[in-house]
Copies of this chain bind each other. A is one copy, B any other.
Amino acid sequence: MKIEAIDLFYIALPEIRRAADSSQDSLVVRIRADNGLIGWGECDGSPLGNLAAYVMPMSHQNIINLNEALLGETVDSPDDVVRLRAKAGRYGLDVQQIDHAVAGADVALWDLVGKYVGEPVYRLLGYENSYPKLPYSSVLFGETPEETRRIATRIRDDGYSAAKFGWSPMGEGTLEDDVALVAAARDGLGPGPQLMVDAGVIWGSDDAAAFERAERFAEFEVTWLEEPLLPDEVDAYRRLTDRRPSVAIAAGEGCDFYRAADDLMVNGGIDYIQIDVARIGGITVADRICRRAQELDVTYVNHNYKSHLTVAASIHVFAGIEKFRLFEYPDGESPLIRGLTAPTGIFVNSDGLVEAPDVPGLGVEVSVEAIRKFLRTVRIEIDGKVLHETPVI
């Protein structure tokens, strides 16, 4: 089949809050083939910035937009998706945003090819079986220990066996304030569930501050301390992991391309690599990192805090690896998390686990009504001529 159209939909909540909550907007990518089949994907990052990478005028041979790279191309097999991903990378060699932007198209192409050949994406990646994952509820800390405890209690009552608390106010007060937040989370969850802490890069390059927290958090049986340092600070990660902290170290959501993840694993010495398929250039690159993690004995975990379109894309990447068992499951209030693919989604079953759908493609469908409801129309003109206009849906 041939790629006939790439439709870009910028969706957003009516009001965007200044919180570490990336489920407030999205760029949804729809790829239509000439045989009528449709694939869907989604980009993390700025919707307008990602959209620009699809439509920007050519600057030179290494800055050519994604529409130009992909429209009219033939795509019948996984090999074609890999070939087109590489082509898009060459056309966008000097486009920094390329990885966030192409992620949506790459995911949509895997979805499309899965539907075309009648296989779920994890099979296209070469895995015979898919294994259930343990979803962890991914939430922000409350503003106080009390609020954090209430959130943890709700998560326990919802039946989760694992939860991650992240970002503000972690690291903004004293060491004892940080400990109180983690203690409250554990208290609310009770002794059973796994607990993870996401520090949201708050200690920058200060590995000593991160180490001190890891040691203090250990008594609350914390599975990992996530992103204590900035993604750029690989040497600081190495100093931290060389001291063998009592809590495992996780990072990787800040990685936008393969080498950044490999660098963190090999030179940063982290224990868990957390890859956002909607940032790192799609399933093609996430799959390469997942295989590399196995070689290095690092545990692969998805990162995602967008819709169930990305939840689905995330799970297919490592569905085939039984030992990679934890799964980040966005558990916020935004209607874009569960609403974009309503009524389908990757839901927690009665055993408390999630599984890749055993149907062709990603296994979730996008709700056209949801896109209409949250759509922001975009119009870009250059020298008075229309470069891009949101398509009718």
Interface residue ranges, A against B (CB under 8 Å): 10, 12, 16-22, 24-25, 44-49, 51-53, 55-64, 93-100, 201, 231-235, 254, 256-260, 262-263, 267, 279, 376-384, 387
11 contacts between A and B (CB under 8 A): A16-B57, A46-B52, A46-B56, A48-B387, A49-B97, A94-B279, A96-B256, A231-B259, A263-B267, A377-B382, A378-B382
Mostly helix, strand, loop or mixed at chain A's interface? loop
Q: Which chain B residues lie closer than 8 Å to A57 at the CB level?
A: 12, 16, 25, 47-48
Asked if A47 and B59 sit within 8 Å, CB to CB, the answer is: yes
Residue from A12, A64, A380 whose CB has the most chain B CB atoms within 10 Å: A380
Interface centre among A46, A99, A235 (most CB of B within 10 A): A46
Q: Once bound together, how far apart are the Cα atoms of A18 and B12, in whole Å?
A: 36
The chain B residue with its CB closest to the CB of A234 is B259
A48 to B97, CA, bound (A): 11
- Check A56 against B49 for contact (C-beta < 8 Å): yes
* A55 cross-chain contacts in B, Cβ below 8 A: 48
- Contact assessment for B234 and A24 in the assembled complex, using a CB-CB cutoff below 8 Å: no
Given the known interface contacts A16-B60, A61-B20, A381-B379, the answer about A45 and B96 at a Cβ–Cβ threshold of 8 Å is yes
Q: With A22-B60, A59-B46 in contact, do A380 and B383 touch (Cβ < 8 Å)?
A: no
Known contacts: A53-B49, A58-B18, A59-B25. The answer to whether A97 contacts B96 by CB under 8 A is yes
B96 near A60 with CB under 8 A, answer: no
Say how many copies of this protein the assembly contains. Answer: 2
**Known A20-B61, A46-B63; 7 more pairs at CB < 8 Å:** A12-B57, A12-B59, A18-B64, A25-B57, A48-B56, A51-B52, A377-B381
Given A45-B95, A233-B259, A19 and B60 contact (CB-CB distance below 8 Å): yes
Interface core residue of A24, A48, A49 (most chain B CB under 10 Å): A49
Q: Is the CB of B201 within 8 A of A95?
A: no
- Chain B contacts of A22 at CB under 8 A? 59-60, 62-63, 94
Chain B positions within 8 Å of A254 at CB level:
93-94
Q: A376 vs B61: C-alpha distance in the bound complex, in angstroms?
A: 20
Q: In the complex the two chains form, what is the Cα distance from A170 to B22 in whole Å?
A: 44
Q: Taking A18-B61, A58-B18, A60-B18 as contacts, is the C-beta distance between A49 and B52 under 8 angstroms?
A: yes
State which of B16, B59, B231, B259 has its C-beta within 8 Å of the C-beta of A24: B59
CB of A143, distance to nearest CB on chain B (Å): 14
- For A23, give the chain B residue with the smallest CB separation: B60
